[in-house]
Amino acid sequence: MSDNHFGTDAAPTNIVHAAVAHDAAPRAPRLKKARGWREAGLALTLAMLATAGAVFVSWPSSTALATDPAPAEAAAPPAMPVEVAVLKVRDTMKWDEFSGRLRAVEEVEVRSRVAGAVEKIHFREGALVKQGDLLVTIDPAPFQAALTRAESLSEAAAARVELTRSELERGKQLVDNRTVSVRDLDQRTNAFREAEANLRAADAAVQTAKLDLGYTEVRAPVDGRVGRIEVTVGNLVAAGASSPVLTSLVSVNPIYVSFDADENAVAEALASVGEHDLALTEIDQIPVEITTATTAGRTVRGHLQLVDNQVDAATGTFRLRAVFDNEDGRLVPGQFARVKMGRAKTEPALAVNERAIGTDQDKKFVFVVGDDNKAVWRKVTLGPPADGLRVITDGLKEGERIVVNGLQRVRPGAVVAPEVVPMETASAASATDPTTSVAAR
């Protein structure tokens, strides 16, 4: 019986253990996963505490902020090196600027003076030629024949003169002997005079034929530069003003520039010469300078040659003309030219380098450097250009120092390290530095 009891009790126990084992199998992975999340959360919490501690340690307390000494003031910037020039009263020439056009002193449209066929062209287009150089040949054969005929008629007329002369001499002798009548002598006299007249006409015809033959060689009437060929070989041309242009020719040296100048500028220029009547006869004392695209920035100087006799009522200007040497041929008729007209005499004035002048909106200014080497902004009033400088009519005094190089780096009140240079020779480096209104703000 005991065996049965044992067997009966053992069965439920086994069932319980089996159930526990069966339930523990799926719970094992869930326990591992839960432990992993707890470990990750613990690590994240520790990291946050460590960061907070570091921030707390590094953040200064209000007491520390109150007791820490203030930082040292920033060191003053070094003085800016600039070039300055001393203002001096100098003899300057006032210049007025205009626009003009170059013109040849002599302009010729080359035409044929005789009719005929163009036989040969002797020049290269655009070449320089001398007066008398052969340009074009017209077929000379017809004119050579005309000359031969005229010479023959002249010889016949000369023979007729000799005959009538001898007849007249004989008639005079016979009249003395009363062999012929006075009427016959008169007829012989008239025949001789007529023969002489015919001879003169024949000689004139010879001269005309020679001229026509010479005109078949079209030559340059002046020194200058020829243009393009307008009529080619083989074409027939007429004679006279209505004939076609063979080519054009313009003189090169000297050369004119024509420009319009306002009444005030002309009056001042003439006044610098002297009395009005004297000035009109000695206007060559008034200098004129020009620059063109072909002078490569080089200024060419000449003198005034003409002031027109009236003012253009529409514009209030005089037409003026100046003359220039042009030996190198760089100045070309028709070119645009920038013209500057000066005065016969110089005048004392304060003048500064153009590079020293800045622009602040509608104002012109310079920086004046005082004895304490501080730059002071100064408004100035500009006058006309004068000998490469700009006249200052108001705002500056003789002896003051102004900045001529480094203007764009200077601020009002800034301390600078000045280096004195001549007014005319401001550093070429400043030519590339833009002068703007930034320096004034």
* pLDDT tens readout for residues 227-259: 999 999 999 999 988 889 999 999 999 999 999
Q: pLDDT class for 49, splitting at 50, 70, 90?
A: low
Higher per-residue pLDDT: 417 or 178: 417
d(CA 305, CA 100): 14
d(CA 255, CA 302): 10
Judge whether residue 31 has pLDDT over 60.
Answer: no
Judge whether residue 206 has pLDDT over 50.
Answer: yes
Q: What is the pLDDT of residue 125?
A: 94
Q: pLDDT class for 161, splitting at 50, 70, 90?
A: very high
Alpha helix (H) residue ranges in 62-181: 62-67, 141-176
Judge whether residue 428 has pLDDT over 80.
Answer: no
Q: What is the pLDDT of residue 7?
A: 42
d(CA 169, CA 158): 17
Q: What is the pLDDT of residue 425?
A: 66
For 69-83, write each residue's pLDDT tens digit.
444 455 667 888 999
Judge whether residue 6 has pLDDT over 70.
Answer: no
d(CA 183, CA 95): 86
Higher per-residue pLDDT: 133 or 271: 133
Judge whether residue 409 has pLDDT over 90.
Answer: no
Mark residue 45 as left, alpha or beta (left: phi above 0; alpha: psi -120 to 50; beta: remaining): alpha
Q: pLDDT class for 103, splitting at 50, 70, 90?
A: very high
Distances (CA, A) of 125 to 216, 219, 225, 254, 329: 20, 15, 9, 21, 16
d(CA 269, CA 96): 9
Reply yes or no: is the peptide bond before residue 384 cis, omega within 30 of 0: no
What is this structure's pTM?
Answer: 0.63
Q: What is the pLDDT of residue 193?
A: 92
Structure tokens at 380: 């100035």
Pairing verdict, β 389-394 and 375-386: antiparallel
d(CA 165, CA 172): 11
d(CA 266, CA 318): 8
Mean pLDDT on 102-131: 95
Q: What is the pLDDT of residue 288?
A: 96
Q: What is the pLDDT of residue 163?
A: 92
Report the percentage of the chain scoring pLDDT > 90.
54
Higher per-residue pLDDT: 303 or 52: 303
Least confident of 110-114, 173-177, 315-319: 173-177
d(CA 162, CA 7): 195
Query: What is the rounded average pLDDT for all residues in the chain?
Result: 81
Give the largest Cα separation in the chain, rounded: 228
Q: What is the pLDDT of residue 10?
A: 43
